[in-house]
Amino acid sequence: MPNFHRVVITGIGAVTPIGNNIDEYLLGLQKGSNGVSDITLFNPEQHPCKFAAEVKNLQTENFIEPKESKRWDRFSQFGVIAAKQAFNDSGIEITEANESRIGVIIGSGVGGLLTMESQAQILSHKGPKRVSPFTVPMMIPNMATGLAAIALGAKGPSSAVSTACAAGSNAIGDSYRLLQLGKADAMICGGAEASITPLGVAGFASAKALSFRNESPKTASRPFDAERDGFVIGEGSGILVLETLESAKKRGAKIYAEIIGYGSTCDAHHITSPSPGGTGGAAAIKLAIDDSSINPDQVDYINAHGTSTAANDKNETSAIKSIFKDRSYLIPVSSTKSMTGHLLGGSGGIEAVACILSLTHNFVPPTINYVNPDPDCDLDYVPNNARDAQIRVALSNSFGFGGHNVCLAFSKLD
């Protein structure tokens, strides 16, 4: 049997609709802030959905040279800024001696959609010679990883994950595995997304996945509520620095928490709909628990995928019940997407950060906009207000189009 390394979190960074750094994001989670508002990134007049959860007031020039940022898609800007925050927070230094032992994996469900759309318009109206030479590197989904590695000098394991809304969590889980096996000493990992574009919004609207509550956008993201009618598209990035416990202790790093389990499955059922009863999600939860060698009774909090769509919330509830049985009703289960909207491939990153903040600050974030109980969703969803609680073990669920399911398990360091 291999001698697995323990893996801890030593740095966190976040760019979200409710805060552009960790302090702001923590306060937003504790207050139950609402990041949803009318779309300002483009004119939504002709769209059936006219609202989203945008990142606002982000000072990109504090992290990226203005000349450089013009050559980066918005999703890459978010990913690099959150990565720099997490890297600086960790206090780790990259030198010639360790540069090949520090890697980057940042997931994205869509990649540079804004670039694709804008350059397609240029191609259509002005011809191929006017298409930017930066088009391809701006739009490909691996570029947040590449740019973060370049910015930080990380020459270790490097890849990008594109498993729809599970991408950020897969990136964290895959990084965890590399560290467990001793293939790296530290990994910068998470998710980034920027799909609030005309095509992105129109596509999800046509699929009937979005809420159309235009008369009251602040109440549109309402996971597990009986009157939920779809998700609210969001944007941003959440990044962690994962490190072997040996490496962190050797350099005297502060340690937020330990990652102790990772489960990844596929429904193999439908391109968008979850498997009936949430069987694929349940299998991922079980794998994460088994991987962590904890007892299900030790789980104190579940950060749900909780998209605010009819099928997801019902099936995720069933998945949780199938694993935790009667104890399901005693575990706080909340969806921070009620505040941030759904960041697609970026959601697993910011929700992993939310779990870590719950562990370190002893609270459970709320599910805001929860008003009308649904008989099919009858767990403790921490309605509307954060709750003080002693959290030792937290799970983070992420489920994506294509049937991808991920569960991550985090704990306080013993």
Q: How would CATH label the architecture of 262-411?
A: 3-Layer(aba) Sandwich (3.40)
Query: What secondary structure does DSSP assign to 277-340, as a single string?
Result: GGHHHHHHHHHHHHHHT--GGG--EEE----S-HHHHHHHHHHHHHHHGGGGGGS-EE-THHHH
Out of 3.30.1360.70, 3.30.1280.10, 1.10.580.10, 3.40.47.10, the CATH code matching 7-250 is 3.40.47.10
- In order along its 414 residues, the chain shows pLDDT tens digits of 467 999 999 999 999 999 999 999 999 999 999 999 999 999 999 999 999 999 999 999 999 999 998 999 999 999 999 999 999 999 999 999 999 999 999 999 999 999 999 999 999 999 999 999 999 999 999 999 999 999 999 999 999 999 999 999 999 999 999 999 999 999 999 999 999 999 999 999 999 999 999 999 999 999 999 999 999 999 999 999 999 999 999 999 999 999 999 999 999 999 999 999 999 999 999 999 999 989 999 999 999 999 999 999 999 999 999 999 999 999 999 999 999 999 999 999 999 999 999 999 999 999 999 999 999 999 999 999 999 999 999 999 999 999 999 999 999 998
Active site residues per annotation: 165, 305, 342
pLDDT tens by residue, 373-387? 999 999 999 999 999
pLDDT for 1? 41
Task: For residue 154, give the amino acid letter.
Answer: A
pLDDT for 3? 76
Q: What is the largest CA-CA distance in the chain?
A: 64
Handedness of CA 364, 369, 371, 375 (dihedral sign): negative
- CA-derived radius of gyration, the chain: 20
Decide if 7-250 and 262-411 have a common fold: yes
Residues facing residue 193 across a β-bridge: 236
pLDDT tens by residue, 283-299? 999 999 999 989 999 99
> Which residue do the tokens 């270790």 mark?
156
**Every domain of the chain and the residues it spans:** 7-250, 262-411
Cα end-to-end span (Å), the chain = 23
HSE (CB half, 13 Å, CA atoms) of 114? 17
pLDDT tens by residue, 251-292? 999 999 999 999 999 999 999 999 999 999 999 999 999 999
Contact 405, 357 (CB under 8 A): no
